[in-house]
Structure 1
């Protein structure tokens, strides 16, 4: 156990990213940024300096505190009072890793400058689908930092996954693996146990014959680079039961027989 969010924070489809500190020489310390909220939940923007619990922990580490500017004023990341960041996704980029690229409902993309604490760009994604708890939007996005402009390029999307979302995903070098998800299969809304691979370099899709042990969505996939394991954690099954599930598989040998079920508890059933 590391810490809890402050009791007044409501978590519903929020986003957590790892900030890049070019001046940080301590490899045991990372800084996390958490933000989210909507018109229906209280907005939050928090940071945490995380240090391994096995290390000597200094003050203000391993706890969520308000994200502040250079004058120690709290900053909330959100376009306006009615912004909808439920199911938001974000990545860090820019020449100095100082830009936060945010994609969110309905087809929005924004750029937030972490040095000036201001939005510098808003745009619309040229996609036919709403983006919500998403990963793959069917677009390759290029950003010109000098001119502050986007270029969007359409990519092929596998028909069987095009209408799905709320899947787990992990990027490994030039491939993305997708696990499970929720979407329309042409006849009805369904929860998937299928696994797909997309090659960025070749712009090709592959469907694995092997599947997850169970239908699963709203789960998370995490890559452990130290031992080349993929961990698939949590989610809901096809009975809408919330699961405390931890599976793992090797990166270089993807096979459902390699999945190890560590624990499974049904917490709540609709």
Structure 2
């Protein structure tokens, strides 16, 4: 979850299953800022997970109590000063954590058919278009949640600290699934793949679904993903209109180290075209530290050799710092 950003720096927050909360000052490996000579103090200890602390440097654990399971939670940032963390998690809960006061200010129950875990949870991007109005009037913030047969529009009023919930339709072809990747842009949410283990067939999807927030309608794309996929992450680069799908598992439940790049073309709010780039597969074997004693293939799907050469250069830098080892270690256990 992004808390704060400078032109070269993001503050990231992670909430773990076993009651731990970590933050990272992240700088892109593609940036020349990594040469920290004569750079400001905020560049110290970058790209490292450290405990989340308050203004007195005391560790803060974002968790209601030791019995709560935060595995598969989803969270977004909102509020008049982007200081409120909205968390949705098992069994059917939503909470608001004030990042300035370092405490929960609201708990509520979600009117869901399903348990809330490994779901879709986004802040309506159209909220950003009225941000200045919100700063003066504190209008409602709208969030959307999807998990299997459950679809919810969640409205939060910052003045009264209250929620309102409204049910949304879910199309039949995505209703059995969760564990999908998703991105939110304009008035659209895109869903990639998914897994329906709860319904006994253990099917893994290769479909892409589009939900239009404004029209409250669904659309299905059948020939976008090259293979079935779930438990992956999707990120939209708004500068070049590419969606990057990272990692995941296939229909044999094997962990993947994939990078799939999809071009998005939006001709107007009602017309969306997705193009899977012609890709080449590059296999890079990474010698992991002593605790694995194996070589792991690292697959990268890219549309140009030039970009891949740059990736190889940065990848080597990662290996030298052992950063990639921790990433692979985390992915191996997940």
TM-score, normalised via structure 1 length: 0.84
**Equivalent-residue separation in structure 1 for 2:216 and 2:208 (angstroms):** 17
The one of 195, 201, 212 equivalent to 1:182 is: 195
Structure scoring higher RCO (CA < 8 A, sep ≥ 6) equals 1
Alignment of 1:1-270 (within 5 A): 17-20=1-4, 26-37=6-17, 42-53=18-29, 54-55=32-33, 56-57=35-36, 58-135=43-120, 136-137=145-146, 138-183=151-196, 188-252=201-265, 253-256=273-276, 258=277, 260=279, 262-263=281-282, 265=297
Count of residue correspondences? 243
Displacement after TM superposition at 1:63 (Å) = 1.7
The secondary structure found in structure 2 opposite 1:243 is coil
Helix, strand or coil at the partner of 1:251? strand
More helix, by proportion: 2
Contact 2:206/2:222 (CA < 8 Å) preserved in 1? no
Larger radius of gyration, structure 1 or 2? 2
Gapped runs of 5+ residues in structure 1? Answer: 1-16
Q: CA RMSD in A?
A: 2.1
Query: What CA distance in whole angstroms lies between the structure 2 residues aligned with 1:226 and 1:183?
Result: 34
Distance 1:79 1:97 in 2: 21
Aligned-pair CA distance for 1:60: 2.3
- Per the normalisation by structure 2, the TM-score is 0.68
- Structure 2's unaligned 5+ residue stretches are 37-42, 121-144, 266-272, 284-296, 299-327
Query: Residues 261 and 161 from structure 1, CA distance in 2 versus in 1: closer, same or farther, beyond 3 angstroms?
Result: farther
The alpha-carbon deviation at position 32 of structure 1 amounts to: 0.9
Q: Name the CA shift for 1:185/1:69 in 2 (closer, same or farther; >3 Å).
A: closer
**How far apart, CA to CA, are the structure 1 residues paired with 2:172 and 2:282?**
33
In structure 2, what is the Cα distance between the partners aligned to 1:47 and 1:168? 22
Per-residue displacement from partner, 1:25-80 (whole Å, max 9, x unpaired)?
Answer: x411111111111xxxx422111122344214332222222111111110011110
Q: Residues 185-244 of structure 1, C-alpha deviation per residue, up to 9 Å, x if partnerless?
A: 977231111111000010000011324111111111111112111111111111111111
Q: How many Å separate the matches in 2 of 1:80 and 1:187? A: 32
Instruction: Summarize deviations over 1:7-39 as a string: whole Å, max 9, x none.
Output: xxxxxxxxxx11036xxxx411111111111xx
